[in-house]
Chain A
Amino acid sequence: MKLKDLLKIAEDELSDLSTVSNPDFRLEQAVKTDSGWEIVVSFLVENPNKPSNPFAALAPAFQFERIYKKVSINSEGEVAGLFIYNNN
């Protein structure tokens, strides 16, 4: 499976998670495993914490934030798992 195929599979699976018109969907990592691939993708979502975050007075109020997800894809090209991923 090529990287562009992995990106397409993840984007098709996760596109509903963002309401942003251009979510800037990106493949960040792609590691081959015994059962397929583990990839990390990122995309922009609307920043839900902007109005109520207690740090809002300190932080710049960006309209969007980038979130990361780890996705397991099996050898048939199917999404087998979707996980929280901390980019730090």
Chain B
Amino acid sequence: MIIIDTNALVVLLVGLIDTRLFRNHKRTSIYDEDDFTDLLRTIRSLNQIVTLPNIWTEVDNLLNNFSGNYKYAYIQEITKTIKETTENYLASEIGTSSPHFQELGLTDSLILEFAKECKLLITSDSKLSDHAIAYGIPVYDLVKVKNERLR
């Protein structure tokens, strides 16, 4: 099982629609086709991915403002990706009980909790990555990989 966070899932979906869109969205603005290829290589198969309902809600809130042809492409890609991946439910109370809730918020607290059961956390959120690493959770950190490439 691989859990993927909101920002990384936004990168995945935007890349699946059209990698040229990365520069148009602030959450994906530092990424390019090479980063997307590396992400796909890390995921290998969508059916390995596990998400939470909170993650999909955040993703849709961030991406549902596409217009024209991209709106249709977005609907197609998110529908297909939701179908091919697995969704697990974690009660919000687990998140609010987490010692990280104050710092990370509800969704990331739940991701951190669930990631302890997963073989990998894929994230594009540096703060979540810091916390996960502190717990010894294996992390593929898109921001870290990108910044290593920039140096």
Contact = CB atoms under 8 A, between A and B. Distances in A.
A88 B126 contact: no
A21 interface: no
A7 interface: yes
Contacts of B144: 26
B116 interface: no
Contacts of B45: none
Nearest to B130: A66
B99 A58 contact: yes
Interface stretch (B10-18, B69-77, B81-89, B100-108): B100-108
B13 to A, nearest CB: 17
B2 to A, nearest CB: 22
Interface centre among A26, A29, A42 (most CB of B within 10 A): A26
Q: Which of under 10, 10 to 19, 20 to 34, or 35 or more describes the interface residues of A?
A: 20 to 34
Nearest to B27: A29
A4 B29 contact: no
Interface in B16-74: 23, 26-27, 29-30
A13 interface: no
B147 A60 contact: no
Contacts of B102: 55, 58-59
A27 B147 contact: yes
A88 B101 CA distance: 12
Interface centre among A28, A29, A58, A66 (most CB of B within 10 A): A28
A62 interface: yes
A87 B29 contact: no
A14 interface: no
B137 to A, nearest CB: 14
B26 A29 contact: yes
Nearest to B97: A58
B99 A42 contact: no
A3 interface: yes
Interface of A: 3-4, 7, 24-32, 42, 44, 55, 58-60, 62, 64, 66, 87-88
11 contacts: A3-B150, A7-B147, A28-B30, A28-B126, A28-B143, A42-B127, A58-B99, A59-B102, A64-B130, A66-B126, A87-B125
For the complex of A and B, 4 pairs with smallest distance between CB atoms: A4-B150, A26-B147, A66-B127, A59-B99
